[in-house]
Amino acid sequence: MVTNTDILLFAAINKQFTRKELIVYLKEQKQTVSPNAIWIQLDRLVKSNELVRVERSVYGMPSNTQKNFIAIVSDEHKQLSQKIKVQFPFVNFCVWSSNAIIPYMHHIPNLNYTYVDVERDVAESVFNFLNENSSKRIFLCPDHDDFNRYVIGTEAIIIRTLVSEAPMQVIDGINTPSIEKILVDVAGDVEFDFMQGAEITYFYRNVAERHNINKSKLMRYATRRGRRQEVEQLYNNAL
């Protein structure tokens, strides 16, 4: 089911868009889409001033607004999260995907990954549980060599270690990363090695232009990850 959050996320990363473009995007995210329902939702978002109608069937965000980042949550993510939550009810984790970073990149690689960031002590148990019944390949904390040899080019679920006190937010009942967590993760995690040099500078600048960033939260998490200096320089250069 398509939510207003899904539509507003698409709006936040596209200055203007048509209803057709929105529908194509939602289908790519494996959402169940009803064109008539989308029209009704868009109309309600316009009436609530969360969107503006630029012209017939063309929409955009209200001018001079900078929205908080919202990670898109697909039906597949919801099912995966629920599966983990039922089996591991007391475990802290978040689910997100490479789709969260693609809209802000300049050169877009072929990425189709789902990330499950989970507490270190149970990462292997979650891996074994998901590996029992999954149509996708699942990898447990791959290192640089394993990632290049086995993960690149696949449609995979990657189990990653969740650092304590990592900034997260709940979207549609699911734990997802905040933009501050993503900015720090892409600055050094092996899954994002492709994002270096001009590409990561472009990424930070795009995010800073489109979304609110809590600097204190960003720096606090960067310090816990041991990459404060690098993240601070990227952040300052993006302003």
Q: Three-state DSSP class for 97?
A: strand
Averaged pLDDT score across all residues of the chain: 91
Query: What pLDDT, on a 0 to 100 scale, did the predictor assign at position 133?
Result: 83
Shared-domain flag, residues 195 and 223: yes
CA 58 vs. chain centroid, Å, equals 25
Tell me if 123 is assigned to some domain: yes
Tell me if 10 is assigned to some domain: yes
Tell me if 69 is assigned to some domain: no
Shared-domain flag, residues 143 and 28: no
Domain boundary residue, one of 12, 31, 60: 60
Q: Provide the residue range defining the domain that includes 211.
A: 75-238
Q: Which residues, 6+ apart, have CB-to-CB distance to 135 below 8 Å?
A: none
Shared-domain flag, residues 96 and 157: yes
CA 95 vs. chain centroid, Å, equals 9
Shared-domain flag, residues 87 and 140: yes
Shared-domain flag, residues 127 and 221: yes
Q: Record the tokens describing residue 67, joined without a space.
A: 């929205």
Strand partners, 211: 67
Tell me if 161 is assigned to some domain: yes
Shared-domain flag, residues 118 and 226: yes
Tell me if 68 is assigned to some domain: no
Question: Hunting for tokens 């292997």 — which residue is that?
Answer: 124
Shared-domain flag, residues 114 and 174: yes
Shared-domain flag, residues 8 and 114: no
Task: Say if residue 33's pLDDT is above 80.
Answer: yes
Quick check: 70 and 9 in contact, CB under 8 A? yes
Shared-domain flag, residues 102 and 175: yes
* Structural domains counted in the chain: 2
Span 84-141, pLDDT tens digits: 999 999 999 999 999 889 888 888 777 889 999 999 999 999 999 999 988 899 999 9
